[in-house]
Structure 1
Amino acid sequence: MKKVYYLSTCDTCARILKEIELPSAFIKQDLKTDPITEEQLNELHNLTGSFEMLFSKRARLYKERGLNTQNLEERDFEELILEHYTFLKRPVIINNDKIFVGNSKKVVTEAKASIHP
């Protein structure tokens, strides 16, 4: 599967997708207009092995809800991601059996190298 989960309203996502130059074979899913499903999230979990790895602790709601002071477990991360798109670390790029989560320079570089070897 070749897919990217992103937010069209996120400047960082737009910059990364432009930098990577995704081929047209990639399916793009804007999380704001097409929220992630439980089945899709489970597919991401199968590739990462962790809901926490997919969770954005930089999301505004994370602090607003006081989640940063709670001891969250895997099930909590899963439920929060399904509840609101902002909790999914973005972008998430899947290139066949490889997954790249987030916007760190290292992740973006690795994703680009995987897509354009």
Structure 2
Amino acid sequence: MNKIYYLASCDTCRKIIKGLPANHNLEFHDIRQNPITEAELEEMHKLAGSYEALFSKKAQLYKSMDLKNKSLTEADFKKYILEHYTFLSRPVFIIDGKIYIGNSQPVTLQAMKALEK
């Protein structure tokens, strides 16, 4: 099953979702309303190769908790993502066994092309 992990209150996520191909077959997962489970995070980790790749260093909590001045391990990245949804870089698409993380234009275009197949 193809999925998108997103935040419904995020303008960027809403814009990306609005631009999805009409025939997409995505299961939508709002990470604020339905926090990601450890099993879901493990699946993402397996596809991404690291927890750091899934971690958002743009999160306001990252700055307010002064995490940028700490040396974080993979275990730390995992712990923070599970503790608060804001630490997951979003959106995260899982399409046909491939993962697309974040909202950069190249990543978004790759995810859109994968959905059109």
TM-score by length of 1: 0.96
Structural RMSD (CA): 1.1
- 3-state SS of the aligned residue for 2:19? helix
Shift of 1:23: 4.0
2:23 and 2:72 map into 1 onto residues whose CA distance is 37
- 3-state SS of the aligned residue for 2:39? helix
Shift of 1:115: 0.8
1:62 and 1:30 map into 2 onto residues whose CA distance is 21
- Quote the residue 2:60 is aligned against: 60
- Quote the residue 1:112 is aligned against: 112
1:97 and 1:10 map into 2 onto residues whose CA distance is 25
Q: How does 1:28-43 map to 2 (within 5 A)?
A: 28-43=28-43
- Quote the residue 1:69 is aligned against: 69
Count of residues paired in the alignment: 117
1:54 and 1:20 map into 2 onto residues whose CA distance is 22
- Paired residue type of 1:86: T
Unaligned ranges ≥5, structure 2: none
Shift of 1:22: 6.2
**2:24 touches 2:115 (CA, 8 Å); kept in 1?**
no
Cα distance 1:22–1:3, how it changes in 2: closer, same or farther (>3 A)? farther
**2:55 touches 2:87 (CA, 8 Å); kept in 1?**
yes
1:108 and 1:77 map into 2 onto residues whose CA distance is 23
- Paired residue type of 2:61: L
Q: How does 1:1-117 map to 2 (within 5 A)?
A: 1-21=1-21, 23=23, 25-117=25-117
Shift of 1:21: 3.0
Unaligned ranges ≥5, structure 1: none
2:52 and 2:116 map into 1 onto residues whose CA distance is 28
